[in-house]
Structure formats: structure tokens, C-alpha cells
Amino acid sequence: MSAASPSATRKPSARDRLLAAADELFYAEGIHTVGIDRVIERAGVAKASLYSTFGSKEELVRAYLEGRHALRRTRLLAGLERYDDPRDRLLGVFEVLAELTGTPGFRGCAFYNASAESTPGGAIEDVSNTNRAWTRGLFYELARDAGAHDPARLADQLVILYDGASVGGRMDRGSTAALQAREIATMLLAAATL
Amino acid sequence: MSAASPSATRKPSARDRLLAAADELFYAEGIHTVGIDRVIERAGVAKASLYSTFGSKEELVRAYLEGRHALRRTRLLAGLERYDDPRDRLLGVFEVLAELTGTPGFRGCAFYNASAESTPGGAIEDVSNTNRAWTRGLFYELARDAGAHDPARLADQLVILYDGASVGGRMDRGSTAALQAREIATMLLAAATL
DNA sequence: ACGATAGCAGACAGACCTGTCTAGTCTCAT
DNA sequence: ATGAGACTAGACAGGTCTGTCTGCTATCGT
């Protein structure tokens, strides 16, 4: 992502192992509680390699969040391709979320979690805002395609539902909240299209 | 709170200053980023006093969260007393939340934030669950009093809205999300009471 | 008056964390 | 074969964190 990726991926190793280890540990246990030593131990990588690849822990965190953002986009868009009807596509977001919150390792929104344990004004805030803006933009497009009279308004409402279902999925463990959010979204969609 | 509070509060000092400092710093900057030294410096208290009053940092954190929980209950219930009509009381929860998210220092749900940066199975999780259960219980009673046919179901829906509005208040800064959540809650309430 | 209690100030220990640096190994293209 | 680049292993420095301990002071009930 940074400068020049010479000839694409050739081996399964190096910086990818670091990112994979960082992703698992940071998401599962938080950024502050996981030290560099834990990351390099799980990655099976020397400390010098980490600091020559990423320059600091904060840059590793940024890369971790950027990876999450990219994965989230592709997963969400891929999940939406199952549907043709614009209304189903809109509601499909909550079905993807239900699948996600149903998996045992779910611990809430990685970006909110990271932002909750970091002082504002850093790299985390940037990626977090980008991710959030993308979500709202996606909802806006889906709302427009579904024929909402005020797509921005519906998008804002759906963001609230999405956030709430994500929090519920973490705190109450399970996909109940996501499924209920889907029902509410159905109502809102019906009301927004008259 | 712990054992015996001998003759109640007489002076403005001691453990109360510690709790006040912990509240401000932990909520504003997070638990891990704020060290003991910062807390005792702001409280104007010796380190030995902290460790003789609370036994550890974790106990200080628990006391901080318990204080938040108590304050939240009283503030919420006090805010609801303005209304007589059961429906207004239910929607009043979102008005109190709107006031809260409108204040500049709002940084989201203290319990979720704390839980996001702590390993599960500790004191934080306990207080967090208690607080969450109380919220759901409050919504349940309000939903029942407002005449909802399935109060538990409506309560779950309102919790989703509340969580979503809280996240939105933090990430997007402002009370827009809370006011929108209030509107959605109005719809849900109407639908739940036929 | 006097002893108990509470609090203050700060040094100190031990652990941990980020980041640097040295030295050696492995692979591969030329 | 040889030299460049990527990687490993681990010591080390400097800082920060929690928690303990030693003195000193002030206040208050008896």
C-alpha cells in the first residue's frame, strides 16, 4: 500500500504474517494491551523486520485498520451481489452484519474500538472516519436506488441502526440485534418510499 | 461503597477528589492512556492515599464506572420526571440522550469504551453488564407503561436505537443522531401499540 | 494534652513497552 | 561464486507504568 509493491505477492510470508498477527491480536484484545513482542512472536518474525517494514507501532495499527477497511468493503459488496432487487440489496447489509455478529470472534466495530482507546488526532481517527464515511455513502446509494424520497435521511437512519446492531452484537453476543435492526430497516424503507 | 462509610461526607476532599479526577481523565482519554500519576496529580492527592483508599488501579476503574452508572440512573430518571404521558416518558429517554450528546465533552458510552480497551472477565465487564441490563429494564417498563403489546420486543428495538445514537453522537459529534433516533422510536412506538 | 487517623511528598523497586543496534543466516540473480 | 537484500535472534537503552515504603504533617475526638 505504501510505495511500490515490486512484483506482487510471491511467498506467503513477511509483512503479511505481521499484518495477520496484528489483525488477530489487536482486534481480539485491543491495541494497548497487545505489545510489539506479542505480535512478532505470533507472526514468527524478528523485531527488526517489523520496524523496517512499518516504521512504528502506530503505522502497524494504521495498516491493520486499513486492512480491515478493505476487507469490510469487499465482503459487504460481495454479500450484496446476491440480491437484484434494490430493496433487498439495502436490507442485505443487515444480513451480512447478522452473519458477522453471529461468528464467535466478533468483538464489535474495529474502528470504534480502536478509536475508544486512542487519543484523537492520530492515524486511527483518519481511517476510522474514512470507514464511517464509506458506510454512510453506501447506505446513501442503496437508499437512492431503492427509491427513497430523501436518501440522505434514510441513510442516516440506517447508520444508527447499523451502529446499534454492532454494539448489540458485541455486548449481548449474537446476531439478534442485527436481525431486529433489519426489521426496523424494513419499516423505515417502506415509510421512506411511501 | 466498599465497607463502612463512617459518618458520611464531611469535607469536599479525599477519595472524592480521586473519583472526580479519575472520572474526567478516564472518560476523556481512556483508561490505558491515563496513568496513576496523572490521576493523583489532578486530584492533588498522594499516591499512598490512592492505594490505601482503593487497592489497585482496577478498583479505581470499577469505582469510576459505578459512579457513572449511578449518575446516569439519577440523571435519566430525573429527566423523565418532566413528562406525565407514558409515551412522552419513553421518548424522553432520547431527549436526555440528545442533551448529553450535545455537550462538547461527550465521548460515547463510558462502559462500552472501557470494555473496548480491557480484556474480558474483569470488574469492567461486570459493571458494564449491570448498566446495560438496567437500560434494557428501563425501556421495558416504559414500553409496558406505554401500552406496547410486546414490551420486551420494543425494549430491544429501543436499545438498538439508543446504542446507535450514542455511537453516532461520539463519532459524528452532535445530537443529530439522538434526535433521529427519537423519531424512529416514535414510529416504533406507534407500530407497537397499534 | 495527646494519641489516632488521615493525608502529603517523594524515593524506590520491578515489570513492561517501544524502538535501536549488532551480528549472523538464507536465498537468489548475476 | 559472490555479493546484495531480506530475514532472524536477541541484547540493550530509555522511558513509563503500577504498586510499596518511609517519613512528615495536620486535624480531631477524648
Q: Which of A112, A165, A187 sits opposite B187 (nearest CB)?
A: A187
pLDDT per residue as tens digits for the range B18-75: 999 999 999 999 999 999 999 999 999 999 999 999 999 999 999 999 999 999 999 9
Q: For strand D, which nucleotides have at least one atom less than 7 Å from a protein CB? A: 6-11, 16-23
CATH class of A12-55: mainly alpha
Looking at chain A from residue 25 to 64, which residues have their Cβ under 8 Å from any Cβ of chain B?
Answer: 29-33
Using the CB atoms, write b or e for B19-29: b if 16+ within 10 Å. Answer: bbbbbbbbbeb
**Could you state, in order of their start, the residue ranges of all structural domains in chain B?**
13-55, 68-192
pLDDT per residue as tens digits for the range A144-177: 999 999 999 999 999 999 999 999 999 999 999 9
Q: Which of B116, B165, B180 sits opposite A113 (nearest CB)?
A: B116
Distance separating alpha carbons of residues B115 and A60, to the nearest angstrom: 23
**B38 nearest nucleotide via C1' and CA:** D17
Instruction: Identify the pLDDT of residue A13.
Output: 60
Decide if domain B13-55 falls under CATH 1.10.10.60.
Answer: yes
> How far A171 CA sits from the closest chain B CA (Å)?
8
Determine the residue of chain B that is closest to A177 in CA distance. B160
Instruction: Identify the pLDDT of residue A44.
Output: 92
| Alpha carbon of residue A12 to chain centroid | 24
pLDDT per residue as tens digits for the range B68-109: 999 999 999 999 999 999 999 999 999 999 999 999 999 999
Q: Which of A29, A157, A181 sits opposite B180 (nearest CB)?
A: A157
Q: Output the CA–CA distances (angstroms, integers) from residue A49 to A18, A40, A46, A54, A58, in the order listed.
A: 9, 9, 5, 8, 15
pLDDT over 50 (residue A25): yes
Instruction: Identify the pLDDT of residue A4.
Output: 37
For the entire predicted model, the pTM comes to 0.92
Say what percent of chain B tops pLDDT 90. Answer: 89
Architecture category of domain A67-192 in CATH = Orthogonal Bundle (1.10)
Cα radius of gyration rounded to whole Å, chain A: 19
- State the pLDDT confidence band at B12, using cuts at 50, 70 and 90: low
Instruction: Identify the pLDDT of residue A6.
Output: 38
pLDDT over 50 (residue A3): no
State the average pLDDT over residues A69-90. 97
Instruction: Identify the pLDDT of residue A9.
Output: 36
Determine the residue of chain A that is closest to B158 in CA distance. A164
Instruction: Identify the pLDDT of residue B10.
Output: 44
8 Å CB contact between A56 and A36: no
Q: Do A180 and B157 touch (CB under 8 A)?
A: yes
pLDDT per residue as tens digits for the range B109-151: 999 999 999 888 888 999 999 999 999 999 999 999 999 999 9
Interface check for A175 against chain B (CB to CB < 8 A): the answer is: no
CATH class of B68-192: mainly alpha
Instruction: Identify the pLDDT of residue B7.
Output: 36
